[in-house]
DNA sequence: ATAATACATTTGTATGTACATACTTTAATA
DNA sequence: TATTAAAGTATGTACATACAAATGTATTAT
């Protein structure tokens, strides 16, 4: 592993140092909250000034990878401290079973479609190749309360022949070695249009909790693009956050 | 508006400068991608070094409030849709100023009321003593888009005579030494009832993003119980989370 | 033994300085 | 006039330096 800094490179030193540190803390020795060498020493070792090194460290601290403590040192953040961002996110199946709700699948439809522009750009692919689209209408025995539309990145390797009745993320992990790691979500309230109203067995204009979900793997590569339409009152989204 | 920096304050200069800039870009002059004064000039004006000023600006750039461009200057970031990052949670004022949106207070009403049962139990107090209730209707110049109802724990020490037009959490922090630290939120979609529809100038049944917010201080003592009713499409809640 | 003190360590804050690089404006030149 | 060159402006990079504040450890006095 290259762990030196090239002063002749056009790449700024603090960028080089940042990348170096990213690689460093990924290595096995640094998994469990281990302290980094102190700044003065490290800056000497890397032949850059402490100021420049701090610039790099700051960025990693901001990204939540490192934690500094005055008088102690800088250590690799433990995954627990990441919960400051938000609670462990869950899949739909997990969410529901956590609430003790039995799920019924009302519709389950798999197809191959050309991605819309915003989906293609999220996946960073061109729009000329079909991708897998998964539509699911789910709810309680009495009736559906959520309509999902999911799109999957080609590299996930789904064939469309998988068993989509079982928990999806478990299947992805076991059979395709794809681990959904990061989830970015946008939640808003909308009025049901004709299509959604029909699916969710409600009236046009009914309040719907709409959730866009962007799912990434460990390497922040996009995996899934998911749209969820929840019937009002059937779903409450909880967030816990902490200032720092 | 206080726009000076106190070198004798125990608060670090770069923090003071950061807060100052946050307030500055919140002000009406800075709504539309306007350039800030250049760094050298601004550092002179604030009587801090350019390095220190850059530290402050960097943070705001990280937070997506400012955009820098070499050879041009630093300008207020233009934001497409309102959204609230859960990374470091923010107050309403911060959320809005982060997107450079000028806030108008349509209603602001302070009163003392007997707490409802669920509020009393959240605050862990008996329901026989009146607590402070703060009602606010806020939005853009064109019209309101959010209705807030807040209740405060007696120990916060609010008298009802405070200036509720200024950012609330800043006031709490400065004048009452209360630091809002933890926020637990429940987000759902509901239909506007008669009352909410009238307040938000919309129709009964219109979709509303409803947010319950429970705010705690450093010691996890309850501070505020807050209900927010957002007009649909005026507010998008964004959450970023990571599995562990 | 215990508590108080002093010291070393490490990050935090803050400044001054210098030059590089990207972009804009102005002036000179063909 | 149009093109090019130079000057000006603003951020970007990088360093050396100094002291402050928090923490942990070793020492000392009680």
**Domain with B201 in it: what CATH number?**
3.40.1410.10
Q: With an 8 Å Cβ cutoff, are A239 and B187 in contact?
A: yes
* CA atoms of A78 and B27, how far apart (whole Å): 39
**A105 part of a folded domain:** yes
b/e code A94-103 from CB counts within 10 Å (16+ = b): eebeeeeeee
pLDDT category of residue B99 using cuts at 50, 70 and 90: very low
Does residue B148 contact residue B129 with C-beta atoms inside 8 Å?
Answer: no
Mark the nucleotides of strand C covered by protein, meaning any atom under 7 Å from a CB: 8-17, 21-24
| Domain range enclosing B47 | 13-76
Give pLDDT, residue B164.
67
pLDDT of B166 reads 62
Over residues B109-138, the mean pLDDT reads 83
A186 and A212 both lie in a single domain? yes
CB contact under 8 A, B86 and A241: yes
Task: Write down the pLDDT at residue B33.
Answer: 64
**pLDDT over 80 at A38, yes or no:** yes
Contact assessment for residue B204 and residue B197, using Cβ atoms and an 8 Å cutoff:
yes
Specify which of B90-99, B155-164, B221-230 reaches the highest per-range mean pLDDT. Answer: B221-230
pLDDT at A200 over 80: yes
On whether residue A163 sits in a domain, the answer given is yes
The residue among B4 and B206 whose pLDDT is bigger is B206
Average pLDDT over residues A72-92: 53
Q: Which residues of A touch B186 (CB under 8 A)?
A: 236-238
- Average pLDDT value for residue range B170-198: 78
* Sheet containing A131-140, strands listed edge to edge, beginning at the edge strand earlier in sequence: A104-113, A131-140, A143-152, A222-231, A207-216, A182-191, B236-242, B83-84
Is the CB of residue A68 inside 7 Å of nucleic acid strand C? yes
Residue B153, domain member (yes or no): yes
Q: Do B239 and A189 touch (CB under 8 A)?
A: no
Residue B174 is predicted with a pLDDT of 66
> Taking CA atoms, what residue in B is nearest to A230?
B189
Domain match, B54 and B91 both: no
Same domain, B59 and B135: no
pLDDT over 70 at B80, yes or no: no
B contact set with A (CB within 8 A): 58, 62, 83, 86-89, 179-191, 205-210, 230, 232-233, 235-244
Query: Which nucleotide is closest, CA of B54 to its C1'?
Result: D11
Residue A19 placed within a domain: yes
Q: Which of A27, A58, A82 is the last residue of a domain?
A: A82
Residues A60 and A136 placed together within one structural domain of the fold = no
The answer on B107 and B45 residing in a single domain is: no
Confidence of residue B11 (pLDDT cuts 50, 70, 90): confident
The reply to whether B36 and B109 lie within a common domain is: no
- Residue range A14-24: average pLDDT? 83
Which residue would you say has higher pLDDT here, B175 or B47? Answer: B47
ipTM: 0.49
| The domain boundary residue, chosen from B41, B76, B111 | B76
Same domain, yes or no, for A107 and A178?
A: yes
Whether A133 and A60 share a structural domain:
no
Give residue B155's pLDDT: 79
Inside any domain, residue A4: no
Instruction: Report which of B136, B141, B146, B134 is spatially closest to residue B223, judged by C-alpha positions.
Output: B134
Closest residue by Cα to the C1' atom of nucleotide C23? B71
- Tokens standing for A174? 């076991």
Contact B88 A185 (CB under 8 A): no
Check which CATH number belongs to the domain holding A62 and give it: 1.10.10.10
What is the pLDDT, as a whole number, of residue B53?
Answer: 92
pLDDT band at B79 (very low <50, low <70, confident <90, very high): very low
Residues A115 and A191 in one domain: yes
Residue A111 located in a structural domain: yes
List the end-to-end C-alpha distance of chain A, in Å, as a whole number: 34
> Picking from A64-78, B63-77, B94-108, which range would have the lowest pLDDT averaged per residue?
B94-108
Whether A208 is in a domain gets the answer yes
> If DSSP codes are grouped into helix, strand and coil, which group holds residue B84?
strand
* Chain A interface residues (partner B, CB cutoff 8 A): 58, 62, 79-80, 82-83, 85-89, 179-191, 205-210, 230, 232-233, 235-244
- Nearest CB to B187 within list A205, A237, A243: A237
The pLDDT confidence band at residue A231, using thresholds 50, 70 and 90, is: confident
pLDDT (mean) for B216-235: 81
Read off the pLDDT band of B227 (50, 70, 90). Answer: very high
A71 touches strand D (CB under 7 A): yes
Residue pLDDT, tens place only, A137-174: 888 767 788 899 999 988 887 777 777 776 677 777 77
Report the number of distinct structural domains present in chain A.
2
Q: If you average pLDDT over residues B67-86, what whole number do you get? A: 63
My answer on whether A108 and A203 are in the same domain is: yes
Which chain A residue has its CA at the smallest distance from B220's CA? A242
Of B76, B100, B131, which residue constitutes the final position of a domain? Answer: B76
Pair A105, A57 in one domain: no
- Has residue B1 been placed in a domain? no
Residues B43 and B156 in one domain: no
> Out of A116-125, A208-217, B143-152, which region has the weakest mean confidence (pLDDT)?
A116-125
Candidate from A82, A239, A242 with C-beta closest to B244: A82
């Amino acid at each position: 592993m290259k762990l030196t800094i090239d002063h002749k490179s056009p790449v700024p030193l603090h960028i080089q140092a940042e990348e170096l540190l990213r690689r460093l803390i990924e290595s096995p020795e640094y998994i469990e909250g281990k302290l980094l060498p102190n700044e003065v020493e490290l800056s000497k070792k890397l032949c850059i000034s402490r100021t420049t090194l701090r610039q790099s460290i700051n960025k990693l601290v901001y990204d939540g990878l490192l934690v500094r403590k005055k008088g102690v040192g800088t250590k690799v953040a433990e995954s627990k401290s990441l919960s400051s961002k938000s609670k462990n996110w869950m899949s739909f199946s997990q969410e529901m079973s956590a609430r003790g709700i039995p799920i019924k699948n009302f519709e389950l439809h798999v197809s191959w479609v050309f991605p819309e522009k915003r989906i293609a750009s999220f996946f960073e692919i061109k729009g000329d190749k079909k991708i897998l689209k998964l539509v699911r209408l789910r709810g309680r025995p009495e009736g559906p309360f959520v309509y999902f539309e999911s799109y999957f990145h080609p590299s996930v390797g789904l064939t469309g022949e998988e068993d989509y009745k079982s928990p999806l993320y478990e299947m992805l992990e076991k059979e395709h070695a794809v681990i959904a790691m990061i989830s970015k979500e946008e939640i808003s309230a909308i009025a049901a249009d004709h299509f959604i109203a029909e699916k969710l067995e409600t009236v046009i204009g009914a309040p719907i909790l709409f959730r866009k979900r962007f799912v990434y793997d460990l390497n922040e590569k996009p995996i899934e693009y998911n749209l969820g339409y929840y019937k009002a009152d059937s779903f409450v989204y909880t967030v816990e956050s902490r200032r720092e």
